[in-house]
Structure 1
Amino acid sequence: MVVIKEYTTTELGIKPIKAVPLTPESFAKFGAIISADHQVSQAPKSSANQGTALKLHKVAPVTNNYENCPSKTPATANWNIFRCSPPKHLLSTSSNSSESGAVMNQYLSKVLERHPFSTQTFLPMGRSQEKIGYLVICAPDGKDGLPDYNKVEAFICKGNQAVTYGVATWHAPMIALGDEDYLDFGVLVHENGVPEEDCEEVTYNPGLIVEF
């Protein structure tokens, strides 16, 4: 990965970002989600496995655009595992003065990254659908091709929901939540081994504040 820009957030006047629940509609501008609870009534489907399964068709794209990369180095589709621990040094909890007794969680986001020529899918493993599993943060391109820091959005994700970031979509590294020591993800992405073509980063200091 290659850092292509560094920002000092105290000079930008960015307001805190309020996270919302992950749904196909809320995330559509950044890619797609895999969430059977939502898609069982929306996606094209058919019977499978001698009638014992319901197949939901093409719920998320898998895209390889490395034919357009400068080096022309071909990429392979790789399944990786990310064992993600909650970033406790970047998480905090405080009382919300506007709501009596309410507690506000905050995350300080210091990095947004993108994969210029590939989608990337994160599939959580081993977390109950009843529990909040992780936090996702995304941003659209600004006019300069870098993240538009005034349009950053955040999403609260359950343990039975996966996300697919669209090609070249700016997003934060995965943020595991909860009391468990870690959350495992199966991660599908195309990679060619050229650092600046596989991943670009933009950093923020001290960071973007996300409330959830």
Structure 2
Amino acid sequence: MSNPRPDDVLALEPLTAAAFAAFGDVIEPASARQVYAVNDGTAQRFHDLARVDTGTGDGHPLISIFRAEPRTLPMPLRCVERHPLGSQAFVPLSRTPFIVVVTADPHTRPRAFLSQNGQGVNYHRGTWHHPLIALEQVSDFLVIDRGGPGDNCEEVALRHRWMLPGAGELLLPPAA
């Protein structure tokens, strides 16, 4: 692949609840709407971290595990997908970081987020996102999405070839 133009390389932003709010929820203890003791005081419940949306009709929540091969950076982005009938959550089952790429429209510049410390995401219904981008090692993710009738996955090829930077490049500082 030829060298990308600097404008084609996406900066990796830290994954924060505020920065990601337009696209979905960040799943981490800091996002809890309530925290309280459970199991006779031997555990804490970080409550209501994300809204599972199964739409209307015959949809139901599905819980699955995805095992993702690590990607090599730099990496061109070729497609995005969305789920028009319900939300989709990815919770890593390790503390290995992964990259989240989202966009309001598949023909506009996407945003790229780097997860940290076991953070997960819940994409709002209809949010365009790149398929899972695991880093460093084969990684398992708990996935919660919608099952039931209807076509709940739309994919489109990107017209523009956006690039993710090489490891350690272009990470923006946390927003103030």
TM exceeds 0.5? yes
User: Corresponding residue for 2:25?
Assistant: 32
Q: Percent identity?
A: 31
Q: How far apart, CA to CA, are the structure 2 residues paired with 1:148 and 1:205?
A: 7
Aligned AA (1:76):
H
> Which AA in structure 1 matches 2:69?
S
Counterpart of 2:141, as a letter, is: F
Structure-2 residue corresponding to 1:134:
98
Match of 2:41 in 1: 51
After superposing on structure 2, the runs of 4+ consecutive aligned residues of structure 1 that deviate more than 6 Å are none
More helix, by proportion: 1
Q: The residue matched to 2:78 in structure 1 has which SS?
A: strand
Alignment of structure 1 residues 1-212 onto 2, 5 Å: 15-36=8-29, 38-39=30-31, 43-67=33-57, 74-88=58-72, 91=73, 106-125=74-93, 127-128=94-95, 131=96, 133-141=97-105, 147-150=106-109, 152-178=110-136, 180=137, 182-194=138-150, 197-204=151-158, 207-211=161-165, 212=169
Cα distance in 2 for partners of 1:159, 1:118 equals: 26
In structure 2, what is the Cα distance between the partners aligned to 1:139 and 1:204? Answer: 11
1:140 partner amino acid: A
Distance 2:102 2:47 in 1: 26
The answer for unaligned runs of 5 or more in structure 1 is: 1-13, 68-73, 92-105, 142-146
Normalising by structure 1, report the TM-score: 0.69
Task: Calculate the aligned-residue CA RMSD, in Å.
Answer: 2.1
- Following superposition, the deviation at residue 82 of structure 1 comes to 0.9
Alpha carbons of 1:84 and 1:193: their partners in 2 closer, same or farther (altered >3 Å)? farther
Residue type at the aligned position of 2:100: V
Rg bigger for which structure? 1
Contact 2:36 2:46 in 1 (8 A): yes
AA at the equivalent of 1:149: T
3-state SS in 1 of match to 2:19: helix
Q: Is the 8 A contact 1:78 1:189 kept in 2?
A: yes
Q: Any gaps of 5 or more consecutive residues in structure 2? A: 1-6, 170-176
The alignment covers a number of residue pairs equal to 161
TM-score normalised by the chain length of structure 2: 0.82
- The answer to whether the Cα contact below 8 Å between 1:134 and 1:159 also exists between their aligned partners in 2 is no
